[in-house]
Structure 1
């Protein structure tokens, strides 16, 4: 099949038609326009069979396909390796240009470089656009022309360079010359055909563009109180938008626009969280090696001594520390974990259980629906004290005091640890410290005793990290 002046729009983590930079650029180029989404075998082969992200993506792709059909086009669906399939498809369709929004992760950069090289050999080009961040790559550098490695100076530079037009959604282009999908690539395969049966996880977030917009509108009403409530997992204080931003069913410009639409401390605090997201993206761009090793060289040879059985207990929510166990059960059951809890359980794994942060990061990568390599890696290295702008190693979260402070009535704990519902608001944070327990409740039977002593492990963590100073 050959066409003239044709382009291919490659959807990746931007599953929407509204406010899509690559779509705007492709439509502006004129000519016939095809659209494709690839279930990339190179990525899927590493995911667990019950991965909760696949149903979310599948739903969003179906929604995207229906939207394109309503506009006279269609979405080509491939289950293949993108690095080879995209150039082959461009040739088959006679496309001179392939448009996509830039991805900053190491695998994506390698894949896109391979695609660009193949397209160039066949007389075509890959056009990458900025879409998932406001500032990307090397747009913000220090006065010495170096990347920022501390958040506060980066945040100040970001705010200084920012102007509201950068957060104005682009809308949708005038009707493009959308092309139908060839019969061979027309059908959306069921998840089972992709190797993913129904997930056992009950997702915290509903999939699709409409669900993302509803969350955005709902959060607008809560935004004034965000700074106060965001640290309390038992309260509905956060946006819940992370998975929608991850897969682009809501754009970063739509999120930024909401943050800028209100003049209050909650909106300003949330804007900082969105800036943190970009800080980690540019950090991974400049230091891709941080994806697999400690950012700080002095911590690359740490000898973690934690037991595998401790790691298993952490994964399963059986550590005997209620706030940690409730958080891990939330993750395992819903594919989501509240941000304050992510810090608590990460600190506990590294500083209490003395287990390599990379094992925890990998577990999160397999379980989180909103998994984003830059944010996940940055957050784990922050908690482990191995990253840039990290928590100093001698600041170690006490899981009991964190629980008492951020879940004072034990509402979150009771939701995910119903076996502790009978305990009062004091005992529920540390059952082993309670003077009396309810009749019939036996520690070690109804709920595990702590697998480690926090005070003892804290001293060992200080000794381990202190040796590297």
Structure 2
């Protein structure tokens, strides 16, 4: 009776899981394994919000396995050492996993694969996270794409609405000892600051399916416009589920099409705008694979000459705490702190404010998002911050500086989003809500701060700094 180890990483689901599917197809029993090894992630170990999600995602995966008379085996420490120990304990002869694409994991997995094979242990890895492997798409000159539109045009021709893999049946789980408890990983906060996230999210595979169904019901039909409105549930909100592998892009594509087909076969919404947004996620992973230094280095080397403002702890903390005096920026940062998530339109605004109006290096914003986002993803986080800062691939031109006031007036005209996160200003009329500094006495009474910077003057200073850096 052969046994295989299925090493779960960020593929915390049973359906459409290539590694699990193949292991169950070729072996009588499997050992579902999770190894907690944050030291192996280098400078990018999960932040507090990600650890919270991971705790609940692992809990949900274990519950799914227990429904099938098994459980998730958890170990801590060195991954290679743990794998070898479990191979000996279980008698397994093969290890299966789905690939990760961050630079640190690529190097680690190569080393582990070579070491296991030296001991005559078979290793099989699969793509369980992306539509296409990053090395499969190159330009006609055999070079990586640097611009999204031609990349997406090529990728879109390769996408098919294929049937996702089902949960393996039978799924026979081998029982082994000496694991550790989920609580011993100490992923959950010791101080209860997570109530807002508990109210906003249901981590796990079933939570991902429910979110997809909600998106199909309420938002996908007008996604192209609704996705820009922060007060609406107009986006899919699947990003944390995608990051932790509780759902795959293939499941989303196929599932969304099926749900819409069943509900109204004659009138199906156009899902292309949403697929294109998933394409941006794919492009982020593609860039990180081909340009692995981008989490710390500008994609555009010319930006090395740009003169960022001197480090200012007070300004950075006011931005982090949502106390800038600019309503849309503050609302976004408070939403982030309370729920572990921020609407994408608002993410662009708060990032522009930090990197352009305050001229604080994008590294500081990326690090704060890394610690506070439940969907913190190295590829997407890097792409997003470099795009807004103007130094990344396919970046917004540096002179594109988001004005938080006009953005709020356009996308939150009635102030529904602002009032939700800024209780001090909740009963103000719309016009004053967007620019409350027009009534200085009112600000003092409400306890809301005056703007920490003049938007017009700071915009001009940013443009001047950019021109100076060009020589």
Deviation at 1:134, TM superposition (A): 0.7
Q: CA RMSD in A?
A: 2.3
CA change 1:220–1:404 in 2 (3 A) is same
Deviation at 1:407, TM superposition (A): 1.0
CA change 1:342–1:444 in 2 (3 A) is farther
Corresponding position of 1:331 = 336
Corresponding position of 1:219 = 215
Which runs of 5 or more structure 2 residues have no equivalent in the other structure?
261-266
Asked whether the equivalents of residues 431 and 443 of structure 1 are also in contact (C-alpha less than 8 Å), the reply is no
CA change 1:53–1:424 in 2 (3 A) is same
Please state whether the residue corresponding to 1:126 is helix, strand or coil: strand
Please state whether the residue corresponding to 1:381 is helix, strand or coil: helix
Please state whether the residue corresponding to 1:37 is helix, strand or coil: strand
Please state whether the residue corresponding to 1:147 is helix, strand or coil: coil
Alignment of 1:75-224 (within 5 A): 75-165=72-162, 168-182=163-177, 184-185=178-179, 188-190=181-183, 193=186, 196-201=189-194, 202-203=196-197, 204-221=200-217, 222-224=219-221
Asked whether the equivalents of residues 86 and 115 of structure 1 are also in contact (C-alpha less than 8 Å), the reply is no
Asked whether the equivalents of residues 82 and 111 of structure 1 are also in contact (C-alpha less than 8 Å), the reply is no
Corresponding position of 2:263 = none
Instruction: Give me the TM-score of the superposition, normalised by structure 1.
Output: 0.92
CA change 1:416–1:194 in 2 (3 A) is closer
CA change 1:146–1:320 in 2 (3 A) is same
CA distance in 2, matches of 1:191, 1:337: 30
Asked whether the equivalents of residues 89 and 176 of structure 2 are also in contact (C-alpha less than 8 Å), the reply is no
Alignment of 1:185-334 (within 5 A): 185=179, 188-190=181-183, 193=186, 196-201=189-194, 202-203=196-197, 204-221=200-217, 222-261=219-258, 262=260, 267-306=271-310, 307-334=312-339
After superposition, give the CA deviation of every residue in 1:376-411 in whole Å (9 maximum; x if it has no partner): 100110000010100011111111111111111111
Deviation at 1:80, TM superposition (A): 2.1
After superposition, give the CA deviation of every residue in 1:255-311 in whole Å (9 maximum; x if it has no partner): 112454557665111110111110111110110011111100111242211522211
Stretch of structure 1 that moved more, 49-58 or 137-146: 49-58
Instruction: Give me the TM-score of the superposition, normalised by structure 2.
Output: 0.91
CA change 1:382–1:47 in 2 (3 A) is closer
Which runs of 5 or more structure 1 residues have no equivalent in the other structure?
none
Corresponding position of 1:442 = 443
Please state whether the residue corresponding to 2:31 is helix, strand or coil: strand
Deviation at 1:48, TM superposition (A): 9.7
CA change 1:67–1:199 in 2 (3 A) is same
After superposition, give the CA deviation of every residue in 1:59-105 in whole Å (9 maximum; x if it has no partner): 22222223323334332111223243223333433322211110111
CA change 1:442–1:343 in 2 (3 A) is closer
After superposition, give the CA deviation of every residue in 1:2-42 in whole Å (9 maximum; x if it has no partner): xx632110111111111111111212222432110122242
Aligned length: 458
Asked whether the equivalents of residues 234 and 411 of structure 1 are also in contact (C-alpha less than 8 Å), the reply is yes
